[in-house]
Structure 1
Amino acid sequence: MLWYGEPCLYVVDAADRDSVPVSRSELHDLLVKPSLNGIPLLVLGNKIDKSEALSKQALVDQLGLESIKDREVCCYMISCKDSINIDAVIDWLIKHSKAAR
């Protein structure tokens, strides 16, 4: 997770289904830290170019994103390899940056 007083960015390998429970646990452990209270969260499911990648709804469900109520949460499915949805990620980050406020 990246955080510098700006939105949080959390990247998950959506094609590594075995690692998702660990990612969920780590994410929820991080979100209880007082320094991250209320900070908008952007979750990226990477490697959607692989056939074994989870769907967006499956990733949202398995990470328990709908249970996070104390902040704005957004999830995009991306492929860094094929540059899929990277423009949407950049737009979201610009919209939520302190410089844009």
Structure 2
Amino acid sequence: MCDETLAELAAKLSEEKFFRYGSDEDRNQLVLDIEARSEFIEVKSEVSASDDPKDNIFLSLALDGRADYIVSGDKKHLLPLHPFEGIPILSPADFLAAMRA
């Protein structure tokens, strides 16, 4: 995790489509819980592989954090890059299936 990706998570969870998963307070608490359990990485890499510039921070973070996986539901920009620099990019469902195998 880095500050930018944490901010992106908080922004996404404040979108209306996530209202059904709990109150504002519940979703804010989830962000705080994730922050407390996350390892923060200093992002030094500058990646420009995605057509969506906002997604490049996740690719940079994955490289600098030596991620085993990138998990994303972004079918338009991130999933087509699978694998990225040897890092598998999986949908949440595919990631869960891989973890159960």
Q: 1 or 2, which has the higher helix percentage?
A: 2
Same fold (TM over 0.5): no
Higher-Rg member (1/2): 2
Question: Normalising by structure 1, what TM-score?
Answer: 0.30
Return the structure number with greater relative CO, CA threshold 8 A, min gap 6. 1
Q: State TM-score, norm by structure 2.
A: 0.30
